[in-house]
Chains A and B, each alone.
Chain A
Amino acid sequence: MTNRDGNVAAPAVEMRGIVKRFPGVVANDSIEFAVRKGEIHALLGENGAGKTTLMNILFGLYHPDEGEIRVDGRPVRFHNARDAVLAGLAMVHQHFMLIPRFTVTENVILGSEGAGVVLDRAAARERVADLSARYGLQIDPDAVVGALPVGMQQRVEILRALYQGGKTLILDEPTALLTPQEVDELYSVLNRLRESGDTIIFITHKLREVAAVSDRVTVIRRGRTVGTRQTAETTAPELAEMMVGRAVSLRVDRPPAHPGEPVLVANDLHLRGTQGHEALAGVNLELRRGEILGICGVEGNGQAELIEVLAGLRRPDRGQVLLKETDVTATGTNPRRRLGLSYIPEDRHGRGLVLPFSLTENVLLGNAEEAPFSQGGRIDYPGSRSLTERLMGAFDVRAPGPDTPAGALSGGNQQKLIIARELHREPDALLAVQPTRGLDVGAIEFVHKQLVAERDKGRGVLLISFDLDEVMDLSDRLLVIYQGRIVGEFLSGQVTRTELGLLMGGRALDEHAPAAD
């Protein structure tokens, strides 16, 4: 606080020549990064570009192998997060570091409770309420955090950062879990913070967000700084090229769909969730051949349960699943696969692959009982191996060979292997859940092309993703899921982000009044 006026010219944060090596990789390779006081500075890069490593170094969680960090012009050397907090930095984590069972006040004061052994809850509550009011955050200090919507929880994190005396806030992919409306509200909170003189570092891999919120942007690629631009003076294609290293098409090429007859039908699915609530409260849907049907919604609104019921991992309490007009409600995954259902699961490592297994063995999973992988109950390993080699070529899986363990591959190549295995079956219906999560732009392009190609071969593709842009770009038809119900259905191009966002947040479209701020 004190040196704020005394040292106006110095950047709020300056990182020079930062090098960080991990076994086998250089995560940060002499990165240059400088943030002016009172600006919103976007740090843009693909997954794995080194953004998070850089911020963990800034925040004292990692120690750089080389390089210098200055905060407010003074060289600093942080040993842990506590040091960084004392220097006026604060991190708003991607996965909130909040305790669900605590109240807002308890979460905010935790770690900075003040002097003395006995908690002065009344005074703490007062301070939290004041701070919330000052920044217009509208947070109830007595609310239990676990019961708050995600956007609110994020504000609690921001409030805590301010409470701890944070002058420079680092937000790590802060929009990942938010609805479009919540994103807008976040932007206005960030603008208010900037107006009151705070500095914000906004980590993202989405070009749209850079344009919407930042004053300047620094792009990093493969651990190196590509450059810093004034946001107003740059364009999305320029940033995309800086980020990826080559010109990329930002739109998915998608000729009009020619939907055919229904291939996968769900009738009135009900499922009670683990916490006793209705995870699925009467879901009806009809996936047709030759279309990509997208389901959008905020995470945790029944998507996981729906996919489990459709894939055959769980039985619904009520309702019916029809695959090619066969009632498969009571069957497991295997009969459904044989009937023509393929599944790209959300969790590559948990459900998609057995990481210590070789690529061949992973391709065998779910296929092992059938020709050409096996004959008369005996697995044909040499045959499977050469088939895997062919699939690796066809789907551009970059690996030393079919005997490499799946765990040694990059995320993109793992995902391509899963897609190769699932598409090799030439399914009639394909369930794709978050198929591009954590992938770089090149791999995303590839996955999207494959999904469109499947559609054009007359297969039905059900796409679930929490990335609204992805769902909107890819889908021919869109469903919105909210609290286990389908609350909206649209044809592609006939709905706006705002409308989808309202539905995803549980509001009806007719209450179209501007959201209370």
Chain B
Amino acid sequence: MLSFFSVALLTATLRSAAPLIFAAMGGLLSERSGVTNIALEGLMLMGAFAAVAGTYFSGSPFVGLAVAIVVGALGGFVFAFWSVTLRADQIVAGTAIVLLGLGLTSFLTEQVWGQAGSSPPVERLPTIGLGMNVLLPVAFLLVPITHWFLFKTKPGLRVQACGEKPEAAQAVGIDVGKYRYAMVIASGVLASVGGAYLSIGDLSQFTTNMTAGRGFIALAAVIFGNWMPWAAMGAALLFGFAQALRFHVQALGLPINQDIIIALPYLLTLIAVTGLLRKSTPPAGLGRHATEG
């Protein structure tokens, strides 16, 4: 039983949690500024694709990562334009980004490599041992940075104000739109890096819908973590653990139905967002626009 909590399971948990943390920190920043971000899934998928494409054409996974960052920023910008400037319904705009991410990456995979379903293998980001790549520590470093930004800096305070009560922020001269743009673009970059982590960090190719709902799980981690960075990381680790179990249950010969294990992260997500486990209090201005122009 001791071996159940083996080093392998631990590293697998960290590896599964890292991309969730990237996307979760992005989602957290966006939501703290008042923009509901269900676009994470689409942004992650775009990042995963862009990283592979960038690596494929340049030969360097670092260039691939840079391309993913640029693409994530662009995707975030488009989402911000819809949901902030055009004041579109944020859920609808987010859904559009998800569908766009899924459709565009499948289409481009075929266009670029002439084969449906997956890209050819590309070079991966370097590892730091135990199958962990260089982005993994970055994910965990992001947590204290996000915390520091939100709670210790001036722009962080303003971001929170935009998310809690945009009209109050506006009344003291804060440009709510500007802060929301910045946070949504940041969420695009972070989610995209989370996607790159999957495609050129963990794996070495892009496959259709390879994020498999991780963007939504990351969002659930934000909610479950009550929009607090450390707690969201905890939730991401829990989800990561549930994912990691899947590969270990068999190896350990535990008498648990495989299907249940596969479904576990999604079940946990469902439970988390229904608020059954704990009562969460979202930013009060989430999804609301400042009224005055």
Contacts and interface: CB of A to CB of B under 8 A. Distances in A.
Interface of A: 61, 80-82, 85, 91, 93, 97-102, 106, 109-114, 116-119, 160, 164
B153 A85 contact: no
Most chain-A Cβ atoms within 10 A of its Cβ — which of B155, B157, B160, B164? B157
A332 to B, nearest CB: 29
B152 A100 contact: no
20 contacts: A81-B172, A85-B172, A91-B171, A97-B165, A98-B168, A99-B160, A99-B164, A101-B164, A101-B284, A102-B164, A106-B157, A110-B161, A111-B169, A111-B172, A111-B174, A112-B172, A113-B158, A116-B154, A118-B154, A160-B172
Contacts of A61: 292
A512 B69 CA distance: 67
B167 interface: yes
Interface of B: 152-158, 160-161, 164-165, 167-174, 284, 292
Contacts of B168: 97-99, 110
B155 A100 contact: no
A102 B284 contact: no
A91 B170 CA distance: 13
Given A99-B168, A110-B158, A110-B161, A119 B152 contact: yes
Nearest to B155: A117
Given A61-B292, A85-B173, A112-B172, A97 B167 contact: yes
A182 B252 CA distance: 68
Contact of B173 (A100, A101, A111, A118): A111
Contacts of B292: 61
Best-buried of A81, A93, A101, A110 by chain B (most CB within 10 Å) = A110
B160 A117 contact: no
Given A99-B161, A110-B161, A118 B171 contact: no
Given A99-B169, A110-B157, A111-B158, 19 more contacts: A81-B170, A81-B173, A97-B167, A97-B171, A99-B160, A99-B165, A100-B164, A102-B164, A110-B168, A110-B169, A110-B172, A110-B174, A111-B174, A112-B172, A117-B153, A118-B152, A119-B152, A119-B154, A119-B157
Nearest to A96: B168
B241 to A, nearest CB: 31
A93 B165 CA distance: 14
A97 B154 contact: no
Nearest to A85: B173
B58 to A, nearest CB: 34
B243 to A, nearest CB: 33
Contacts of A114: 154
A463 to B, nearest CB: 32
B36 to A, nearest CB: 18
B158 A118 contact: no
Interchain residue pairs A-B with the least CB separation, the first 9: A111-B172, A82-B173, A97-B171, A97-B168, A113-B154, A99-B164, A99-B165, A111-B173, A117-B153
B150 to A, nearest CB: 11
A398 B154 CA distance: 53
B153 A118 contact: yes
A100 B172 contact: no
Given A99-B164, A117-B153, A80 B284 contact: no
A93 B154 contact: no
A251 B126 CA distance: 84
Nearest to B283: A101
A102 B160 contact: yes
Contacts of A116: 154
Given A97-B168, A100-B164, A101-B284, A117 B173 contact: no
A160 B168 CA distance: 12
B152 to A, nearest CB: 6
Given A99-B165, A110-B157, A119-B154, A93 B173 contact: no
A229 to B, nearest CB: 32
A113 B161 CA distance: 13
A111 B174 CA distance: 6
A136 to B, nearest CB: 24
A99 B174 CA distance: 13
B173 A80 contact: yes
Given A61-B292, A99-B165, A110-B158, A93 B171 contact: yes
A119 B161 contact: no
A91 B292 CA distance: 16
B1 to A, nearest CB: 41
Contacts of A82: 173
A160 B172 CA distance: 10
A99 B34 CA distance: 13
B178 to A, nearest CB: 13
Contacts of A113: 154, 157-158
A57 to B, nearest CB: 14
A91 to B, nearest CB: 8
A85 B172 CA distance: 9
Nearest to A113: B154
Contacts of B161: 99, 102, 110
A314 to B, nearest CB: 22
Nearest to A111: B172
A100 B285 CA distance: 11
A123 B152 CA distance: 13
B284 A100 contact: yes
A106 B172 CA distance: 12
B95 to A, nearest CB: 29
Contacts of A85: 172-173
Contacts of B167: 97
A97 B290 CA distance: 12
Nearest to A98: B168
A164 B167 CA distance: 18
Contacts of A97: 165, 167-168, 171-172
B144 to A, nearest CB: 14
Contacts of B172: 81, 85, 97, 110-112, 160, 164
Contacts of A98: 165, 168
A80 B174 CA distance: 11
Contacts of B169: 99, 110-111
Nearest to A121: B152
Contacts of A101: 164, 284
A119 B164 CA distance: 19
Contacts of B284: 100-101
Given A97-B167, A102-B161, A110-B161, A119 B153 contact: yes
A97 B165 CA distance: 8
A112 B164 CA distance: 18
Nearest to A61: B292
A119 B161 CA distance: 14
A81 B152 CA distance: 26
A117 B164 contact: no
A110 B292 CA distance: 18
